[in-house]
A and B are shown apart, each in its own frame.
Chain A
Amino acid sequence: MSLLDRFTDGWRKYRKPGYYEEFDYHWAMTIDLDKCTGCEACVTACQAENNLPIVGEKAFAEGREMKWIRIERYWEGEYPDVKLRFIPMLCQQCDSAPCETVCPVSATYHNQDGLNTQIYNRCIGTRSCAVYCPYEVRYFNWNDHQWDAPLEQQLNPDVTVREKGVMEKCTFCIQRIRQAKDHAKDDGRRRVRDGEVQPACVQTCPANALVFGDRKDPNSQVSRSMNDPRAYRVLEELNTDPSVVYLKKVDAKG
């Protein structure tokens, strides 16, 4: 087998549906839009957990804010028959992620848990991934960020503080997943229990709209939730195969 064959073979295997069957986990999230109130508790929780910087008013105006999860809002109709729809938008952890194929240095790749991960010290800042991402959930560090003392004392020691020139995005709180795996190992278990690990956004959601778990476990909350008849994926026609599944909002006027 030539080197090229080996490479394409591995590539095909990796792109094949069911690739993750060989591994222990395939993390996924569902977001129930009928429950989401748009309160943005998830946004602040993420900011606190993942050492997201404050960019300041000027950088924000230039569209350089750093929010791994954000609430998008879409108005429908006109007054008085008007509605505002919220949708939390975060990295969709696509299984066929456009951002991964475009990175010239493979700084973003798919790990065996089905996570789209970003290797900060490999990233050279071409920003191609952000261009390719149809969900616009990749954030580039245009500057080194400051934490006015003593705000830096709050920084989460489990998460890297990123520097200028590096792309970053939601990790599904990979540090929490690692910790849960470690606990499972210490307890002599092979697998993490359902509900044992929750990203910061899921953990705090006051309306309980977000559910996180392993979709390889058919009995996990997230698996059951993904089988909901209301389930859909955003921009499904692009075949990115996201791991974030939304549950349709019920429009029950009248």
Chain B
Amino acid sequence: MPNIERRDFLKLVGAGSVGVGAGFYLRESIKHPMEHLIPHVVAPEDFSTGIDTWYNTVCSMCAAGCGISVRTREGRVKKIEGNPSHPVSQGRLCALGQAGPQVLYNPDRLTGPLMQTGERGSGAFAQITWDEGLSKVADRLDLLRAAERGNRVCLLSQGVRGHLAQLFERFVDQLGSERLLHYDFDHPHTLYAANQRFFGEQRLPYYDLKNTRYLLSFGADYLGSWISPVHHSLGFGHSRQGRPDVRGRFVQIEPRMSLSGAAADEWIAARPGTEGLLALAVAHHILSKGYYQGADRADWIAVLAGYTTTEVAAQTGVPAETIVRLADAFAQTQPSLAIGGGSAGNHSNGVDTLVAVNALNYLVGNLGKAGGLVFNPEPAGPTTHPHQASYRTMLEFVEDARRGNIEVLIVNGTNPVFTLPSAAGFAEALAEIPLIVSLSSFLDETTALADVILPSHTYLESWGDDFPEPGVGFPVGAVSQPVASPLYDTRATGDIILGLAQRLDMNDVLPWSSMEDCIKDGWRQIHERGGGDVRTESFESFWRAVLTAGVWGEETHRESTFTLDKSVIAGIGVQAPEFSGASDDYPFILHPYLSTTLHDGRAANLPWLQELPDPMTSVVYGSWVEMNPVTAKGLGLTEGDLVDIESPHGRIRAPVYVYPAIMPDVIAMPIGQGHAEYGRYARNRGVNPIEILSPQMEPQTGSLASSATRVKITATGRRAELVKTGGNSRDLGRNIVQTTGAGQHSANLNSIPITVIPS
């Protein structure tokens, strides 16, 4: 050290330590006051250092309602697993459910109430207090209610069930509004309508995959994204290799091979929208072969006359021999089961198609028996009305908003700016709404346009409950409890609504001080009603037992008698599907599908799922467009070539993925990417195919016929290498995946006890 004398050196050291000290005190002074406290001088009972504490609660990543067990350590969530006692998940969980901790600990969560200070969408937000936020909203609601214009308030939520749904219903009712909408892109409207028509009930039945010997699936990706994938997978595994001497056979009919198509024994490509015709041809063969001998046989023969296997073969592109073979196997292998949904239901003939699938179950006697289709009893939870908004309902809402009939919009969890086609004009309509309030935990595309953000807890911090729909053949309920203390200054959705209700003096109808109270009160009624597998004298012990088990169930079953009205038979028939866009201008049919990893885009902000290869293509972090090898060759395209995908309603750009299992005139795109907001992991990645969908509807339900858009493909001459796992997509004689003939079957070697449907 030249030129520094001892005295200078000491001075420097002195200054340094003062600096260090000042830094320390500065850091201490800006800490949150909570951090100064010595935590847990007397630790809570369930908190001991180094020991895991597991809590049972309910997964909210999709609508299946799986029971989960959450491992916490020192108050932090470490891992989520399925709750072994819950009949839906039975200890298992999908990738989406496993990624739950990243929802809680997501770096892009909203940390407290915000108010938009700039223009909408400018991203300029200022922090406000809960009191300010709630008062601002409540004051406006109060004015509207007093002026008897409560109907100008709309509560637009993701699909919710249980007591939160009831809370929403009462709150909106108290405001004097009828506008309570649940909107989910993946809600199976056509399936509900088809079951309503055929079975006369607005409840989905239980599909007993576990005991079936032959499954015919029309477009339903039951293992990937349809209704309850974890439960279906359990059933699939058991049906395949869980029973002595019986191996279930699975047939998948869809224009593009899905996860379920890959797992099936046979994948059959039928032209998009002709799945229902195929079902009716199968039915025709069942009748003409005399497999069905019911009293209404003559009616069936009359109504199915036009659906001979040869005629339908020409329309569907499936050879007549194949149809005959399927029909023979379906009728002769008992119990069998036909399910329909997904893309098959998302056409202009969606309801008729799914009615035809129901007819198959009726004709071979699959109704109400193990291995077939089992009717669900009344759900145990509070009775609420169906609020799921179809595309048509959303259009009506958009129209109302445009006319200035909506003054306050409260959005909860749903993200229609992302999950509605741009043709719907939803984002533009929002501009006409004077006050938009979002209760989302994340700054998604819809929330970015909100004036006031009152952020909700994540599901791992909230009280709630769930009664899975469809049920599992008997009534099941589960309480969702907080497994970690709130990370930020957020509140449970129910508490936000109750906070507003208190400011609006709704105490007589919404008397609860918190969501916990509300849930507890609801479950008190379940306890008083009796029944169920938890029987205790006092409510407190019942409550503790339900929380500990994480699930509550009743042993009641529905009578399985079912008589079909003749008028239903007369109404059976499937029209050819209608597509928007002329086939000359738009030669390809766009098949958008829910991503197995990102679902409808809700999981795009979770890095684990962004980096989880798509099961079928192994692509990560982006969008792609799947194309038959012959089609790609004809267009001179190879993997990674950027193309424009243009519908009559918009254009997006994505790289080509040459996909061996898709029809030549169909192109497929995964939904999930293409976010403009929604945090650092989701933003500006890939494209959103929902954007360019034509506003074609299924006329009976008004739901979006999302598989009915025609598109054209234009090469851009540019390339974008797809990011995916390496390796060759062919085995090349290495014999890595070995197969064996159908004769070999292992009897009950690794089955697990499944607690569903005692026969």
Contact = CB atoms under 8 A, between A and B. Distances in A.
Contact of B608 (A36, A47, A157, A205): A47
Contact of B236 (A30, A54, A207): A207
Interface stretch (B16-24, B113-121, B223-231): B223-231
Contacts, number: 255
A79 B78 contact: no
A251 B611 contact: no
B49 to A, nearest CB: 10
B294 interface: no
26 contacts: A34-B240, A38-B262, A39-B615, A40-B596, A40-B613, A41-B95, A44-B612, A48-B608, A54-B611, A57-B620, A57-B621, A65-B725, A76-B730, A77-B660, A78-B629, A84-B660, A86-B262, A87-B736, A87-B737, A152-B105, A211-B750, A221-B750, A225-B750, A248-B738, A248-B744, A252-B265
Interface string B101-125: 1101111000000000000000000
Interface residues of B, number: 94
Interface stretch (A3-11, A66-74, A99-107, A185-193): A66-74
Nearest to B237: A207
Contacts of B224: 39
A136 B287 CA distance: 54
Contact of A204 (B98, B607, B727, B737): B98
Contacts of B608: 44, 47-48, 54
A205 B607 CA distance: 21
Contact of A79 (B79, B628, B742, B746): B628
B128 interface: no
A148 B746 CA distance: 47
A250 B259 contact: no
B729 interface: yes
A87 B736 CA distance: 8
Given A72-B736, A206-B93, 12 more contacts: A34-B240, A35-B236, A36-B263, A43-B613, A45-B95, A48-B98, A73-B729, A85-B262, A152-B105, A153-B76, A224-B750, A251-B741
B621 A74 contact: no
Interface string B709-734: 00000000000010101110111001
Interface of B: 50, 73, 76-82, 91-95, 97-99, 101-102, 104-107, 223-224, 229-230, 233-234, 236-238, 240-242, 247, 249, 257, 259-260, 262-263, 265-269, 487, 596-597, 607-613, 615-616, 618, 620-621, 628-630, 660-664, 680, 721, 723, 725-727, 729-731, 734, 736-742, 744-746, 749-752
A196 interface: no
Interface of A: 30, 32-41, 43-45, 47-49, 54-55, 57, 60-61, 63, 65, 70-80, 82-87, 148-157, 200, 203-209, 211, 221, 224-225, 228-230, 232, 234-235, 246-253
Contact of B749 (A84, A149, A228): A228
Contacts of A230: 740, 744, 746
Contacts of A34: 240-241, 247
Given A40-B95, A79-B628, A253 B660 contact: no
A45 to B, nearest CB: 5
Nearest to A36: B263
A221 to B, nearest CB: 6
Given A75-B729, A224-B750, A250-B745, A156 B78 contact: yes
Contact of B73 (A84, A157, A246): A157
B238 to A, nearest CB: 7
A206 B229 contact: yes
Given A40-B95, A204-B98, A205-B92, A250 B741 contact: yes
A153 B725 CA distance: 28
Contact of A73 (B77, B81, B618, B749): B618
A181 to B, nearest CB: 16
- Which label, helix, strand, loop or mixed, suits the secondary structure of the B interface? loop
A80 B249 CA distance: 19
Given A82-B661, A83-B262, A154-B101, A249 B629 contact: no
Contacts of A48: 78-80, 98-99, 101, 608
- Which label, helix, strand, loop or mixed, suits the secondary structure of the A interface? mixed
B616 A84 contact: yes
B252 to A, nearest CB: 11
Contact of B238 (A45, A208, A225, A235): A208
A151 B725 contact: no
Contacts of A208: 92, 234, 237-238, 242, 750-752
A141 to B, nearest CB: 15
A249 B739 contact: yes
Contacts of A71: 613, 615
Contacts of B263: 36-38
Nearest to A227: B749
A225 B749 CA distance: 6
B389 to A, nearest CB: 30
Nearest to A252: B742
Contacts of A36: 263
A41 B59 CA distance: 15
Nearest to A149: B107
Contacts of B621: 57, 60
B749 A79 contact: no
Given A250-B740, A252-B247, A45 B734 contact: no
A251 B742 contact: yes
A206 B740 contact: no
Contact of A61 (B238, B723, B727): B723
Given A34-B241, A149-B107, A40 B615 contact: yes
A206 B749 contact: no
